[in-house]
């Protein structure tokens, strides 16, 4: 499945857990693996705490601190920081599926990571049956 994700900020973490679970349910797979992929060089996907919204804020604060937007980069588009953040976070996640549900920890969620927004982005979700 392909989902559209509209972001509103230059850097932003969007909880897409419900979208990914929807893809699992529509797939009909009871036990297997769910692959989440972001086909953008200035965005990513990660799994982290989704109970306390301050965690998202803190994660972005640290990323923006260690990879500042303007730091004398050579890339002519002016978004090198977004490319570096995307590489560090990664473009995909694999999540186990058991009994038709994503296997995530109590506090875990799946986040689309925007590093060069706001934009309209794509999120690919494929679910594969075990065995």
The structure tokens listed for 77 are 């588009």
Q: Which residue has the higher pLDDT, 131 or 84?
A: 84
- The lowest-confidence range among 8-12, 71-75, 80-84 is 71-75
pLDDT at position 76, please?
79
Indicate if the alpha-carbon torsion angle 93, 94, 96, 99 is positive or negative.
positive
- The lowest-confidence range among 20-29, 46-55, 70-79, 91-100 is 70-79
Q: Which H or E element spans position 65?
A: helix 53-66
Q: Which CATH architecture has domain 2-129?
A: Sandwich (2.60)
pLDDT tens-place string over residues 42-78? 999 999 999 999 999 999 999 999 999 988 898 878 8
The answer, yes or no, to whether residue 131 has pLDDT greater than 90, is: no
């Amino acid at each position: 499945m392909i989902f559209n994700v509209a972001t509103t900020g230059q850097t932003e973490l969007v909880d897409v857990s419900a979208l990914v679970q929807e893809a699992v349910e529509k797939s009909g797979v009871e036990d297997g693996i769910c692959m989440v992929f972001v086909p953008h060089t200035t965005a990513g996907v990660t799994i982290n705490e989704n109970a306390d919204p301050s965690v998202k804020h803190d994660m972005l604060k640290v990323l923006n601190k260690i990879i500042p937007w303007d730091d004398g980069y050579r890339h002519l588009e002016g978004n090198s920081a977004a490319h570096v953040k995307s590489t560090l976070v990664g473009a995909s996640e694999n999540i186990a599926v058991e009994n038709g549900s994503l296997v995530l920890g109590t506090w875990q969620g799946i986040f689309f990571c925007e590093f060069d927004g706001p934009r309209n982005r794509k999120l690919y979700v494929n679910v594969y049956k075990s065995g």
